[in-house]
Amino acid sequence: MQLKNIFRYFVFFIVLVSYSSVNAQGYKIKTIVIDAGHGGVKPGAKGNFSWEKDVALKVALKLGAKLQEELPSIKIIQTRKTDVDIDWYKRAEIANDAKADLFISIHCNSMPPGNSHVRGTETFVGAYRRINEMDAGLKENEEIIKDKNYKKKGTFDPTDPEEMILLSLYKSLYRSKSLSLARHIQKNYTEVNKRVNRGVKEQGLLILQRAAMPSVLTEIGFISNADEEKYINSDEGQEEIITAIVNAVKQYKKEVEN
């Protein structure tokens, strides 16, 4: 890579740090985008009686309603409100275009046959990896990778080293904030809801890499586990899940609005 390009990226990074709204004095969270994973012809994981896309949508809509009720000054945007398929890059674009302060993607976990005993919650933040590692990463990328044109969609080519450096510098501004929100979510899941804690993890998730704000993807439970499938489909279970996330957002809000 040419030296002038490296210098250009360094200058760009310094400018971003200088003007980052997340670090600005008087910063307030104004907009949160909630993303119900999958949808339409991309149903996600299947349990004994439910699909991931349906559970994610119900939880996302309830989460949005509760956030709006308890934090009325914040604008809540849903990437989808019905059973429709929205391209991965458009989900991030919705958040970017809205200049959102947080992006929260709701998903259900699953395991292959023979591992139905596995349970618990985990929350992911974006990480930058080599393209082969990213493609072989978390299963949430699988539907994206199956699209032969996925590398042409959006505004960047993940195989271009220069563009990946540029995006890595840009995303590094939000890594610590994303990790903070993820940790608050996991703490509420496990300490309040008494769920099994599978931790906070960094993974090469394409949708999170495109979101230009602190962002997380939270797996609310294993749809492949009979007990957890019942829990994440129940009114009581969904209420506990959304309360945990709302409390995490409140804790994060208090932390960053200083």
Q: Which domains does the chain have, with CATH numbers?
A: 30-256 (3.40.630.40)
Going from the C-alpha of 175 to that of each of 65, 214, 252, the distances in angstroms are: 27, 7, 14
Which amino acid is residue 179, in one-letter code? Answer: L
Going from the C-alpha of 197 to that of each of 110, 211, 225, 253, the distances in angstroms are: 15, 25, 15, 23
* pLDDT for res 204: 78
Residue carrying the six token digits 């609310």 = 220
Residue carrying the six token digits 């995490």 = 248
Q: How far apart are the C-alpha atoms of 237 and 232, rounded to whole Å?
A: 5
Q: How far apart are the C-alpha atoms of 203 and 91, rounded to whole Å?
A: 18
Question: Residue range 140-149: average pLDDT?
Answer: 54
Q: Confidence class of residue 158 from pLDDT cuts 50, 70 and 90?
A: low
Q: How far apart are the C-alpha atoms of 187 and 189, rounded to whole Å?
A: 5
pTM reported for the whole predicted model: 0.82
Q: Confidence class of residue 210 from pLDDT cuts 50, 70 and 90?
A: confident
Greater confidence (54 vs 2) lies with 54
Over pLDDT 90: what percentage of the chain?
64
- Residues ≥6 apart with Cβ < 8 Å to 128: 164, 167, 168, 171, 204, 209
- Collapsed DSSP state (helix, strand, coil) of residue 174: helix
* pLDDT for res 136: 42
Chain-wide mean pLDDT for the chain? 84
Greater confidence (239 vs 210) lies with 239
